[in-house]
Amino acid sequence: MRNGPLAVVGASVLWGTAGTAGLLVSADSVALAAARLVIGGAALGLLSGAGLRRTLSPGLLLGAVAVAAYQLCFFAAVSRTGVAIGTVVAIGSGPVFTGLLSWLLHGRRPSGRWTAATTAAVCGCAALIIGGGIQADAPAGAQAGIQAGSQVVSGMLFALLGGLLYAFYAVTAARAIGQGGESNAVMGVMFGGAALIMLPVLVISGTGWIASPGALAAVLYLGLGTTALSYFLYGRGLRTTPVATAATLALAEPAVAALLGLVVLGERLTLVSIAGLVLLDLSLVAVAVPERTPEMQLESQP
């Protein structure tokens, strides 16, 4: 797989810095996500240059819709379930859906090692995030409890839909790249299209908060660094890395976010979170190391 896994992990590291950078901006989360996607998508579209028109296809346009819809589903999920549960379900289900879609659509059955390592990685991700503690007010009365329960159920469904949308646009991008498409152009079509879709959301949400120098710097970093550069690297990684493996390696994102919270923000990790971090790291190493195929074994024999 050459340097493909390193490129994917590099993208995940950038994604993991988004939360810390977002704390520098006092803006609505939906507006912030829309601004990030508009800036990053426009940059990826410009980067693809002339290849954008050659790569344009109905499948990639549908992928662009999935990119934009993922943002909306994710924020709909966390507003109903809380950040911890919504993030775990959305991010944790992504690799599972990616492996299943890759198998169902392209006949690439995940290996036993991938299945075991991905299961462990998702468990580690859940322990890392939930181990920090979930604060929720107790519902007052039976009716409030029913309403809270329905909110959680709908939030979980939005989170699962978000994981499925992520898997869909990842598999769509991987297929286009595997068929000879330029990775820059593939990402440019999907994220450039998503930028156009999210532009009205940004306008409706308001852009006055971007006027301050600090907010502008943070938004530019979120758009150019954690979106444009990260998906440039992710596309490069998909050239040589199976999409199911790439989706699992992307779980490095919450690990980086947790470490930044520890070092930069002065947050503390519980023992459960530390155990989850260790399990997640070991699982990602297991996924990143290429498996020995029969051809490799024959070549290694004297």
The pLDDT of residue 137 is above 50: no
- Give the tokens for residue 20: 């810390």
Could you report the per-residue pLDDT of 155-177, keeping only the tens digit for each?
889 999 999 999 999 999 999 99
If pLDDT is split at 50, 70 and 90, which confidence band does 133 have? very low
Give how far the C-alpha of residue 76 lies from the chain's centroid of Cα atoms, to the nearest Å: 16
- Whether the predicted pLDDT of 141 surpasses 80: no
Residue 134 is predicted with a pLDDT of 41
Rounded-to-integer distance, Cα 296 and Cα 128, Å: 36
Residue 224 has pLDDT above 50, yes or no: yes
pLDDT by residue (tens digit) across 231-250? Answer: 999 999 999 999 999 999 99
- Nearest CA to 279 among 90, 73, 126, 101? 126
- Token pair listed for 80: 């109903």
Q: How far is CA 2 from CA 12, 171, 231, 237, in A?
A: 18, 20, 18, 9
Sign of the Cα torsion 139, 143, 145, 147 reads: negative
Judge contact between 36 and 75, C-beta under 8 A.
no
> What is d(CA 133, CA 271) in angstroms, rounded to the nearest whole number?
11
pLDDT at 142: 45
Cβ contact 237:85 at 8 Å: no
Q: Are 249 and 9 in contact (CB under 8 A)?
A: yes
Distance CA(127)–CA(141), nearest Å, equals 30
Angle at the Cα of 92 from the Cα atoms of 87 and 93, rounded to 5 degrees: 110
Query: pTM of the full predicted structure?
Result: 0.86
* CB-count exposure of residue 62 (10 Å: 0-12, 13-18, 19+): middle
Mean pLDDT of the chain: 86
- Dump pLDDT digits (tens) for 17-56: 998 888 888 888 889 999 999 999 999 999 988 788 889 9
The tens digit of pLDDT for each residue in 264-295 reads: 877 777 888 889 889 998 999 888 877 654 44
